[in-house]
Structure 1
């Protein structure tokens, strides 16, 4: 079992957004009711309980999701073994089972939580083939949300900023063109990902615009936890763009809210330290640094 690498906070926000964005559409099988992406072990228990009474394509889909819970916990070998057991039945299965099989096999090979050592040429080629197969089957079958999911995962195969931006833009274009609510729900997360790609290309003002749009969508949809993450990402992008006053205002508000809730946030304090340093306020930077260090176990 591979161990998950420790990620810097901006990337953790991205990863969290990415997994949360993979909103599973309601169908005859209600996967939404079974999934809690923050608790993959609990999700596996629910999925296995549902599998006991499932037949046909429903059983295949559930097994792909069990593989996904394993991948989320870093057990990529276990995920691949589960999917290998599913593969022979796909010849007579419907498109959703096939799409989810390719999606999850791709994620078990290359995803944001794989470390660099796992990114071998063979793994990259195999993941690329799976994601593109998932996207093609999904688009052909009218499963727009799953097609968006597959395209957005390609940005984690081709990680060069220009390539990541190209794949993310393709996913966003499909989401915006789709009449399906499940596909449209991807917009906020895709704009978030696009913001990171633009940042990596040095296009800071455009990145800020995408993070602003993502935050506005989160607020509009009434998603408090995701709103907080989106505010943090916007503040990070503003700092990177040199727009320190607005970044400071956002982070100060986040810091106060976290303190009031009794959950001080080390990432917010780290950003506050960086902003105060950039503004030349050594005393405020030192105070934020001291508070952050005090949170260490």
Structure 2
């Protein structure tokens, strides 16, 4: 496992002020990756924005393209980001001057390196090659630690906890350790994914009672820091786990409460059918 954010001497001297995650969150519409891609494309090409911000927004363009299955384009976007930071030499005293000075660019900041690695990993997963994501995501943990960004470390760790077969619990534990003592609500939201994913690892491994503890913890964090979607999904998982445990009355009551909030949720409807008529469910 990677020792993340344990020493101040890890912080990259090229690290700059991080790009505001709230800006990225506002631009995303995960229900409509086409619209999101156009937003990120326009923003990443806006010459009035700082170079680092444009590079970070380009990583999100790649992610949105990946959600559309446009993997070749997405990887090409990521491949092109480093070029934004290559020094451009301009003459200082005219075309015949011997001395030149950099007009921009410079080393790629650690935040950008981390985000590029994370999105490469996500693209591999979306393209059906989760094993190929592990080297990129492991690199992302290191780069994010050098950037001094717990948020990005946790993003990479939660992906590893999903896709590094045989090491899921180790990565999740590392992420949960990193969350200890954090105060930023947006960073603390990663606890939802870490507990929820860990719950499914335990559920699918036959440790259902332990899985329920993880799912219930995910609900607690979702209620405090998460979105309405996360609150719905984590409660669904509690209900699904209750069904596995044979606590079907509790499971049905919970799923019906979710159906009252979202009558068109197919996962909830499938669970209600499974609990009332023995129909097969849609698995997470």
Structure 2 length-normalised TM: 0.76
- CA contact under 8 A between 2:19 and 2:56: conserved in structure 1? no
1:254 and 2:258 correspond: yes
1:279 maps to none
1:33 maps to 26
Number of equivalenced pairs: 242
Q: Deviations over 1:127-160 (max 9, x none)?
A: 2221111111211221001001111111343234
2:69 maps to 74
Structure 1: give runs of 5+ residues left out of the alignment. Answer: 1-24, 277-284, 293-297
Larger radius of gyration: 2
Q: Which has the higher helix share?
A: 1
- CA contact under 8 A between 1:176 and 1:187: conserved in structure 2? no
2:153 maps to 147
Structure 2: give runs of 5+ residues left out of the alignment. Answer: 1-17, 86-105
2:107 maps to 92
Q: Deviations over 1:64-84 (max 9, x none)?
A: 111111111121221111111
2:88 maps to none
- CA contact under 8 A between 1:67 and 1:82: conserved in structure 2? yes
* Match for residue 138 of structure 1 among 133, 138, 144: 144
Q: Deviations over 1:162-201 (max 9, x none)?
A: x222222222221234344432121112111111011122
Distance in 2 (alpha carbons) for counterparts of 1:241 and 1:31: 40
| 1:185–1:268 distance in 2 versus 1, CA, 3 Å | closer
Distance in 1 (alpha carbons) for counterparts of 2:195 and 2:163: 18
- 1:244 CA displacement: 1.5
1:238 maps to 242
2:274 maps to 274
266-275 vs 194-203, which moves further: 266-275
| 1:221–1:178 distance in 2 versus 1, CA, 3 Å | closer
- CA contact under 8 A between 2:118 and 2:137: conserved in structure 1? yes
| 1:29–1:133 distance in 2 versus 1, CA, 3 Å | same
Name the SS of the counterpart of 1:32 in structure 2.
helix
| 1:240–1:29 distance in 2 versus 1, CA, 3 Å | closer
The alignment's C-alpha RMSD in Å is 2.5
- 1:264 CA displacement: 3.6
2:220 maps to 216
- CA contact under 8 A between 1:238 and 1:247: conserved in structure 2? yes
Distance in 2 (alpha carbons) for counterparts of 1:224 and 1:275: 24
Structure 1 length-normalised TM: 0.73
